Amino acid sequence: MIIPHPLLGPRDSQEFTYLGDASLIDRPDWQAEGAVDLFHDYLYLRDNPAGAHRELWFHEQGDRSWLVVTRDTVTHEIISAELARDVARARGRSK
Amino acid sequence: MRYSGFKVLKEALTGHKGWTPAWRDPAPKSHYDFIIVGGGGHGLATAYYLAKIFAKSSIAVLEKGWIGGGNVGRNTTIIRSNYLLDGNEPFYEFSMKLWEGLEQDFNFNAMVSQRGVLNLCHTDAQRDAFRRRGNAMRLNGVDAELLDTEGVRRMAPFLNFDNARFPIKGGLLQPRGGTVRHDAVAWGYARGADSRGVDIIQNCEVTGFRIENGVCKGVDTSRGYIGAGRIGVAVAGSSSRVMAKAGLRLPIESHVLQAFVSEGLKPLLPGVITYGAGHFYVSQSDKGGLVFGGDIDGYNSYAQRGNLPVVEDVCEGGMSLMPMIGRAKLLRMWGGIMDMSMDGSPIIDRTDIDGLFFNGGWCYGGFKATPASGWCFAHLLATGTPHETATAYRFDRFRKGLMIDEKGMGAQPNLH
């Protein structure tokens, strides 16, 4: 699999390590109502779709950036890759 | 029809005209007491034990494709019960005991061969860990033997003992482990279940669950609606997709695991050998092919095929452990889809929806568990309570912090 890195261009997926579903960006607020349930769902439950899947890849053997890669889990086709930083900020994180 | 040596002889002398289909091809009825979704090893075993042990009737197995066409036909056929943790070991030993009597029980030749499973260790720390695991096994009444280098050399003199980086320091041997002909397990259970009145319905895809007021009343299928008293889902690999139809999210990711077979060779390997310094394990089939595999590819996949980096990694492991494998040609390679759970252990439990039960999360260890998984799931479906060896396999163990994490990797499914 070749991952189209937004800064470095096409890179072999072997340079990356895989974390999982991109929803791991959305860490719950530990002070929220029902934080125990929120963290249970955040940590342990996954959508696990067959088809387009947004997921976190870490460019460990490269520039050590985190990417959100959209990939088809049935065909392994990589549809897009964006910097996880940009995705997180767009969702209101790290302001 | 009962199979026997006499029957084989008789048919040989009469032109093999007396064989009949091993199971029926019934049309679905409008209602069953029990529906098992998934006609793989676990689903068929569940139906078999429901009918045989728990004396239930009115049972159907619904299979999207053909029975035994999924992971029960795609694994590397190894059976063992060499686990460390209390939540696992009694369950897998229960499974091993069922394997030992399986062929007599369901009157089908599954070629159960207890040729031994040998885990190699390459450092002092690894040997200590193996000693601990061996002791845990023995405390649970399971056979375990710790071998030194010479003990391993006597069993497998062809291994690379001179590897400066990963010398073989010994191994943990489970003599009762071994291999089984996987397809025959599905067929044996199917035939046994069918002869006890279970309807095995193939080419029947479940497209939805009818849930009213928190109670599951039946399933919509590609062959129409079928009502049921209790529904058990045993579709490991596709668990998330099927249970999503009932609105459930699971602590599971689907990953692809590759396996390989070489050309046929003369008898070479005494049993199953696993490499402790890389992820590689190998056995030899009765046809002579070396059956081997390694790690999962490590990313979510439903593709039933993997990528080349893991092929390279597995072959490097093979070359490092037994260099002569480099002279064998690779015949076939394929991938299967694993339910990778959040702690590396399975789930056999009821769901929050009444009448809907779940069996899955087998990671890459589902085949060896087939008999016990079927028995325990049948126990749960028939009695509503977990079998004594499967009490730890609950959904709520993640909420309660009671994970059964053999590798200690945490909620990171691609590392289990």
Give the pLDDT confidence score for residue A89 in this predicted structure.
Answer: 93
If we measure between CA atoms, which residue out of B70, B125, B131, B147 comes closest to residue B338? B70
pLDDT of B102 strictly over 90: yes
The predicted model gives B145-158 an average pLDDT of 97
Q: Using pLDDT thresholds of 50, 70 and 90, give the confidence band for residue B59.
A: very high
* Runs of H (alpha helix) within B62-144: 89-106, 124-139
In a domain, B121, yes or no: yes
What's the pTM? 0.96
**Do B174 and B193 share a domain, yes or no?**
no
**Do B313 and B352 share a domain, yes or no?**
no
Scanning every residue of chain B, which has its alpha carbon at the shortest distance from the alpha carbon of A43? B411
Q: How many domains does chain B have?
A: 2
| Residue B50 in tokens | 């429901």
The matching CATH number, chosen from 3.30.420.40, 2.170.150.70, 3.10.180.10, 3.30.2270.10, for A2-28+36-90 is 3.30.2270.10
Backbone angles phi, psi at B214, to 5 degrees: 75, 15
In a domain, B18, yes or no: no
Calculate what percentage of chain B has a pLDDT beyond 70: 100
Q: Distances from the Cα of B381 to the Cαs of B46, B97, B208, B225, B349, in angstroms?
A: 9, 22, 20, 21, 9
- Say whether residue B413 is in contact with chain A using an 8 A CB cutoff: yes
Give the pLDDT confidence score for residue A93 in this predicted structure.
Answer: 82
Q: How far is A81 from chain B (nearest CA, A)?
A: 15
In a domain, B39, yes or no: yes
pLDDT single digits (tens) B368-394? 999 999 999 999 999 999 999 999 999
The predicted model gives B188-209 an average pLDDT of 97
Q: Which of B256, B300, B305, B404 to mutate to test the interface with A (most CBs of A within 10 A)?
A: B300
A46 secondary structure, DSSP code: B
Summary mean pLDDT of chain A? 95
**Do B372 and B394 share a domain, yes or no?**
yes
pLDDT of B342 strictly over 90: yes
Instruction: In whole angstroms, give the CA distance from residue B315 to residue B293.
Output: 9
Q: Which of B322, B341, B360 is the last residue of a domain?
A: B341
| Residue B234 in tokens | 């045993």
- Within 8 A of A75 by CB-CB distance, chain B residues are 303
Q: Using pLDDT thresholds of 50, 70 and 90, give the confidence band for residue A95.
A: low
Summary mean pLDDT of chain B? 96
**Do B53 and B103 share a domain, yes or no?**
yes
Please name the residues in contact with B96: beta carbons below 8 A apart, sequence gap of 6 or more: B79, B80, B81, B142, B176, B177, B368
pLDDT single digits (tens) B206-240? 999 999 999 999 999 999 999 999 999 999 999 99
pLDDT of B189 strictly over 70: yes
Q: Distances from the Cα of B65 to the Cαs of B71, B218, B315, B349, in angstroms?
A: 12, 20, 32, 25
Overall size of chain A counted in residues = 95
Domain that holds residue B407: 24-81+83-108+182-250+345-415
- CATH number for the domain that contains residue B93: 3.50.50.60
Instruction: In whole angstroms, give the CA distance from residue B313 to residue B316.
Output: 5
**Do B46 and B103 share a domain, yes or no?**
yes
- Helices B41-52 and B370-383: angle between axes, nearest 10 degrees: 50
pLDDT single digits (tens) B87-96? 999 999 999 9
Q: Using the beta-carbon criterion (under 8 Å), do A46 and B301 form an inter-chain contact? A: no
| Residue B192 in tokens | 């046994």
pLDDT of B49 strictly over 70: yes
The predicted model gives B65-76 an average pLDDT of 95
Task: Tell me the DSSP string of A4-32.
Answer: EETTTEEEEGGG-EEEEEGGGG-PPPTTS
In a domain, B231, yes or no: yes
Q: Which of B289, B319, B341 is the last residue of a domain?
A: B341
If we measure between CA atoms, which residue out of B346, B58, B64, B360 comes closest to residue B230? B58
Scanning every residue of chain A, which has its alpha carbon at the shortest distance from the alpha carbon of B304? A74
If we measure between CA atoms, which residue out of B336, B368, B339 comes closest to residue B83? B368
Give the pLDDT confidence score for residue B39 in this predicted structure.
Answer: 97
Q: For chain A, first and last CA: distance in Å?
A: 34
pLDDT single digits (tens) A2-44? 999 999 999 999 999 999 999 999 999 999 999 999 999 999 9
**Do B324 and B358 share a domain, yes or no?**
no
Q: Using the beta-carbon criterion (under 8 Å), do A55 and B299 form an inter-chain contact? A: yes
pLDDT single digits (tens) A57-76? 999 999 999 999 999 999 99
Instruction: In whole angstroms, give the CA distance from residue B21 to residue A47.
Output: 41
**Do B211 and B323 share a domain, yes or no?**
no
